[in-house]
Amino acid sequence: MKKSIIALAVAGALTAPMVAQADATLYGSLRLALVSNDGSELDLNDNVSRIGIKGSTELFSGAKAIFQFEEGVNAADGGWGAARLASIGVTGDFGTFNAGRQWSPFALWTVLPFHTGENTASTSTAGYITGVGALFHRLPNTMAYITPNMSGFQAAAVAIADNEGSGEDLDAYNLAAKYSAGGLMVAASLIQVDGNAGAATDINHVSVGVTYKADALYVGARYAETDNAGTETDQYSVVGKYTMGNTSLMASYSDTEANTDVYSLEVQQKLGKQAKVFAAYTDRDTTDGVEVGYRVDF
């Protein structure tokens, strides 16, 4: 839902009137989950809530300047959480240039399509890798170029320029491409991190994913392989989701070489356009449990 932030506009009008001129949308998603794991006490957790502002403003050339700022919030304890997004860019016929802290195409195309559930076993950090001192999904200090959608085909390149003392101008980069047609989507991503950067070792990460959507059914599978200073690990996951009106049934399974297989079964129910509940059974190597959650978006 698009909302002009009146409060911000009023505040802006008092100090810097220019701020109010760009049409900004305040958005957010507050999510709570009650987790009952075998052998642990009941826990009411924040389930990756966030609040953000985004918008765009027209440029003289006809292109658009875009901006976004998003911060994690803790809906269980209150207070701000970790930084999520902070970027400004330009978008037009030529594609999108964006700089700051932003989603990597690796995450957008080969991880997030496989996070169909709300429970922690199906999302958490499943599929994410670390690099340059952070998880490689929302990258700081980045410059990105994303091509426009060319009859289903799209490619993206992201470079990290962080003065990590690696002796290289670019510490890491991510190249990715995806193709979608009909209900099918295939994507591939390559990440390379320089050994002298924050990660301390050379990292090569390749991931591929495919999803298919037919009417009520959505299925996806992904495979990723990480070469961390010569040590190779791989991971795969499969997800399925069946949607029936406001009700969805979701199943996820992922397995890594370290033999930590995780699966979950979840039912979601939309209570309204922007509110939903879920109940899930999760099973990890070490424990299994039940999670229920409530989420409101705005």
Partner 1 sequence: MGALFRLALFCFRFYGATIKALLPIDKGLRVKKAFYSFVLSGLMVFGSQNALASDHLSEADPWEGFNRTVFSFNEGLDRYVLKPATLGYKAVTPDLVETGVSNFFNNISDVGSLFNNILQGKIDPAVSDLARISFNTTFGLGGIIDVATPMGLERYDEDFGQTLGYWGVSSGPYVMLPFFGPSTVRDGVGLAVDSVTSPMNNVEDDSARYVLMALKAVDTRAGLLEAEKLITGDKYIFVREAYLQRREFSVNDGVVEDYDDDNF
Stretch of 20-28, 132-140, 174-182, 265-273 contacting partner 1, by CB under 8 A: 265-273
Q: How far is the CB of 242 from partner 1 (least distance, A)?
A: 6
- DSSP SS3 for 109: helix
The CA angle 197-203-205, to the nearest 5 degrees, is 135
Interacting residues with partner 1 between 224 and 243 (CB under 8 A):
242
Stretch of 11-19, 129-137, 227-235, 245-253 contacting partner 1, by CB under 8 A: 245-253
Q: Which of residues 7, 14, 42, 244 is near partner 1 by CB under 8 A?
A: 244
Inter-residue contact 236 to 225 (CB < 8 Å)? no
277 near partner 1, rule: CB under 8 A: yes
274 near partner 1, rule: CB under 8 A: no
190 near partner 1, rule: CB under 8 A: no
Stretch of 71-79, 152-160, 198-206, 264-272 contacting partner 1, by CB under 8 A: 264-272
246 near partner 1, rule: CB under 8 A: yes
Stretch of 114-122, 145-153, 253-261, 271-279 contacting partner 1, by CB under 8 A: 271-279
Q: Which of residues 21, 269, 274, 286 is near partner 1 by CB under 8 A?
A: 269
32 near partner 1, rule: CB under 8 A: no
Measured CA to CA, the distance from residue 160 to residue 168 in angstroms comes to 11
Do strands 64-73 and 80-92 pair parallel, antiparallel, or not at all (unpaired)?
A: antiparallel
271 near partner 1, rule: CB under 8 A: yes
Bridge partners (DSSP) of residue 200 are none
Query: Closer CB to partner 1, residue 78 or residue 245?
Result: 245
Measured CA to CA, the distance from residue 17 to residue 286 in angstroms comes to 56
Measured CA to CA, the distance from residue 173 to residue 144 in angstroms comes to 10
CB crowding 90-125: b at 16 or more within 10 Å, else e: bbeeebbbbbbbbbbbbbbbbbebbbbbbbbbbbee
Among 190, 195, 128, smallest CA distance to 157 is for 190
Q: How far is the CB of 42 from partner 1 (least distance, A)?
A: 12
Q: Where does this chain bind partner 1 (CB under 8 A)?
A: 242, 244-247, 249, 267, 269, 271, 277, 279, 290, 292
